Amino acid sequence: MTEAIRVPIDEQSGERGDPIEHRLERLLADPTVTELTLNEWVEAAERWKIQQTLRQCRGNRSAAARRLGIGRRTLYTKMERLGIDTHRRRSG
């Protein structure tokens, strides 16, 4: 009996395989990105993921921390270290 292997398809590009891997490959084609050190690359990826998750959680840091699988205090510490605004903005 043969099992089918499901290969994800990137909805934006239509390419088969891991969508994140395809995005990284396109990003790495940019010569300015390849000049980053490993620490700079990790910080940029961490900053992006935290900001994306905060947007998805509409700024709710407790929900973002849960979604990221880290504690709220850890999230605050990372936000401060990465230069992400830690102050809540109130509308009105």
Residue 61 is assigned to a structural domain of this protein: yes
Residue 30 is assigned to a structural domain of this protein: no
More confident residue, 18 or 79: 79
- The two tokens of residue 45 are 């990826």
- The two tokens of residue 48 are 């992006």
The pLDDT of 35-48, averaged and rounded, is 86
* Threshold 0.75, pTM exceeds: no
Are 65 and 49 in contact by the 8 Å Cβ rule? The answer is no
Residue 91 is assigned to a structural domain of this protein: no
Q: Indicate which CATH number applies to the domain containing 58.
A: 1.10.10
Residue 88 is assigned to a structural domain of this protein: no
Q: What is the pLDDT of residues 9-32, one digit of tens each?
A: 545 556 565 666 777 677 767 777
Determine what percent of the chain falls in helix, strand and coil, rounding each to the nearest 5: 55, 0, 40
pLDDT of 12 reads 54
pLDDT of 92 reads 45
Q: What is the pLDDT of residues 45-70, one digit of tens each?
A: 899 899 999 999 999 999 999 999 99
Residue 56 is assigned to a structural domain of this protein: yes
In total, how many domains does the chain have? 1
* Residue 9 bridge partners (DSSP): 16
Which is it for the CA torsion 61, 79, 54, 75, positive or negative?
Answer: negative
Residue 74 structural domain = 36-81
